[in-house]
């Protein structure tokens, strides 16, 4: 199994270009099905979840291949409307293909995505919304059989602003007749990116970024060339790395507006963070101060995906920082691993209390999930001695090459491939 070896204790100094956003490109890859044409994606990150999406597209009869730095997808030849159980299990967010396949084929068969590292991952809101638009969905032995001779636009109200449900409904509504309004829609920047992509293909979607998204269905879509937005969680990870180890770094391409809740907390802890059109500069000197309670919430609140990396950054801060995880049930699995490095964290239900310690020390640790794994890297940079991080396949789901990026920022980190 591949591992990361981190020699901690040094300050960071350097620059890195931020990869394209994983959470943006996955729904965009599903949306390419609606174009029925050639799409060229620029700035698409090379990740395990992107590979899984490519395999899903290929299994549906579509072409999807890298042409240099561009991911070229041609969905003209789509000839299947089911996704195998094996492919569904490879990527938990594969449910996003449901709305797109249904809109294009009038039916879709796939297995239930099931739970994930973060706890149960229900898709009841996706299914209820699709039913509102006229889909018939049978759930049978872990499989979903969906048919929709016609999808009809109407208002769909989400009881919570689910990112995946909002995206699935946007895709289904593009293939429907009339106007769909998604109320209490998620407002994440990746939803705006999906809207921009769909409109570049000829769709009529408006309102993304607000709680009401309107989709005028029934327009024939076509291919386009599109650049995926920068990954705000990768950017948050590297900001937290600088906060953890100290240093001064520049994140080229990162958009500070997408990260305002994260940067506000880092400033409160004593870092200087400034953003402009080129990227984000972050300078952190001396020990961090404790922060106000960090409560995860749907965008524009503090992102649950940045909870673990921020927690790792404050392990040596002066004072006590309280975290409250409100989105996923099982999102403190990194805590036991951080404790092996000397962290002082107490967890009770959705609350975690971090009391800053003088020093952290290197230790063998194991990734429990994608962002929890990134948090181990962030903590290891501030620990004395060597940290060996195993089960990094979780990290590979969402970071192109975290060791390469952190090395550009001056970190002492190498990847040891399996079998070496």
Helices (H), 246-369: 260-268, 307-313, 334-340
116 included as an active-site residue: yes
For Cα atoms 289, 291, 295, give the angle at the middle one, nearest 5 degrees: 160
Binding mask 38-77 for ligand UD1 (x = CB under 6 A): ----------------------------------------
Contact between 28 and 194 under an 8 Å Cβ cutoff? The reply is yes
Selected from 103, 123, 262, 354, the binder of ligand UD1 by CB under 6 A is: 123
Contact between 12 and 381 under an 8 Å Cβ cutoff? The reply is yes
* Buried residues in 104-120 as b, exposed as e (16+ CB within 10 A): bbbbbbbbbbeeebbee
Choice between 160 and 278, CB closer to ligand UD1: 160
User: Quick check: 327 binds ligand UD1 (CB under 6 A)?
Assistant: yes
Stretch that binds ligand UD1, among 70-78, 118-126, 266-274, 349-357 (CB under 6 A): 118-126
CB of 199 to ligand UD1, least distance (A): 19
Binding mask 170-189 for ligand UD1 (x = CB under 6 A): ----------------x---
Contact between 347 and 320 under an 8 Å Cβ cutoff? The reply is no
Q: How many residues in the shown chain lie near ligand UD1 by CB under 6 A?
A: 19
Q: Give the Cα separation of 101 and 80 in Å (integer).
A: 9
Choice between 64 and 125, CB closer to ligand UD1: 125
User: Quick check: 328 binds ligand UD1 (CB under 6 A)?
Assistant: yes
CB of 45 to ligand UD1, least distance (A): 13
| CB atoms inside a 10 Å sphere around CB 5 | 16
User: Quick check: 164 binds ligand UD1 (CB under 6 A)?
Assistant: yes
3-state helix, strand, coil in the chain (%, to 5): 35, 30, 35
CB of 53 to ligand UD1, least distance (A): 10
Closest residue to ligand UD1, judged by C-beta, is: 164
Stretch that binds ligand UD1, among 63-71, 121-129, 149-157, 266-274 (CB under 6 A): 121-129
CB of 367 to ligand UD1, least distance (A): 16
Q: What is the largest CA-CA distance in the chain?
A: 64
CB of 7 to ligand UD1, least distance (A): 30
Q: Give the Cα separation of 82 and 63 in Å (integer).
A: 16
User: Quick check: 125 binds ligand UD1 (CB under 6 A)?
Assistant: yes
Catalytic residue among 62, 81, 105, 116: 116
* Buried residues in 314-341 as b, exposed as e (16+ CB within 10 A): bbbbeeebebebebbeebbbbbebbebb
**Which residue carries 């290929």 as its tokens?**
58
> Which positions lie near ligand UD1, rule CB under 6 A?
23, 26, 93, 121-126, 160, 162-165, 186, 304-305, 327-328
- Residues identified as active-site: 116
């Amino acid at each position: 199994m591949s591992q990361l070896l981190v020699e901690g204790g040094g300050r960071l100094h350097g620059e890195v270009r931020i990869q394209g956003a994983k959470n943006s490109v996955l729904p965009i890859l599903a949306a390419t099905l609606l174009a029925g044409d050639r799409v060229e994606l620029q700035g698409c990150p090379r990740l395990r979840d992107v590979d899984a999406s490519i395999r899903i597209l290929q299994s549906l009869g579509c072409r999807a291949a890298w042409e240099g730095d561009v991911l070229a997808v041609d969905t003209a030849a789509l000839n299947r409307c089911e996704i195998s159980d094996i492919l569904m299990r490879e990527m938990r967010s594969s449910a996003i293909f449901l709305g797109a396949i249904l809109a294009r084929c009038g039916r879709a068969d796939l297995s239930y995505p099931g739970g994930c590292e973060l706890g149960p991952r229900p898709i009841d809101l996706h299914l209820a919304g699709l039913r509102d638009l006229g889909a018939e969905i049978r759930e049978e032995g872990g499989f979903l059989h969906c048919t929709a001779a016609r999808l009809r636009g109407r208002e769909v109200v989400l009881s919570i602003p689910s990112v995946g449900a909002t995206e699935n409904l946007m895709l289904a509504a593009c293939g429907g007749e009339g106007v769909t309004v998604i109320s209490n829609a998620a407002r994440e920047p990746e939803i705006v990116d999906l809207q921009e992509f769909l409109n570049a293909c000829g769709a009529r979607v408006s309102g993304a970024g607000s709680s009401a998204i309107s989709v005028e269905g029934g327009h024939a879509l076509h291919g386009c060339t599109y650049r995926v937005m920068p990954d705000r969680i990768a950017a948050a990870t590297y900001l937290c790395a600088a906060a953890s180890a100290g240093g001064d770094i520049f994140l080229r391409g990162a958009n500070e507006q997408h990260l305002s809740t994260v940067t506000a907390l880092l400033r409160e802890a004593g870092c200087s963070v400034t953003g402009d059109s080129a990227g984000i500069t972050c300078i952190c000197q001396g020990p961090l101060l404790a922060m106000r309670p960090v409560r995860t919430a749907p965008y524009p609140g503090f992102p649950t995906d940045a909870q673990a990396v921020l927690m790792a950054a404050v392990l040596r801060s002066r004072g006590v920082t309280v975290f409250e995880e409100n989105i996923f049930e099982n999102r403190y699995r990194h805590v036991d691993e951080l404790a092996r490095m000397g962290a002082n964290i107490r967890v009770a239900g959705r609350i975690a209390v971090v009391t800053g310690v003088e020093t952290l020390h290197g230790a063998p640790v194991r990734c429990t999930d994608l962002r929890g794994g990134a948090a181990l890297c962030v903590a290891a940079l501030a620990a004395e001695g060597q940290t060996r991080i195993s089960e990094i396949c979780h990290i590979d789901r969402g970071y192109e090459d975290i060791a390469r990026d952190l090395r550009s920022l001056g970190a002492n980190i190498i990847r040891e491939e399996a079998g070496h």
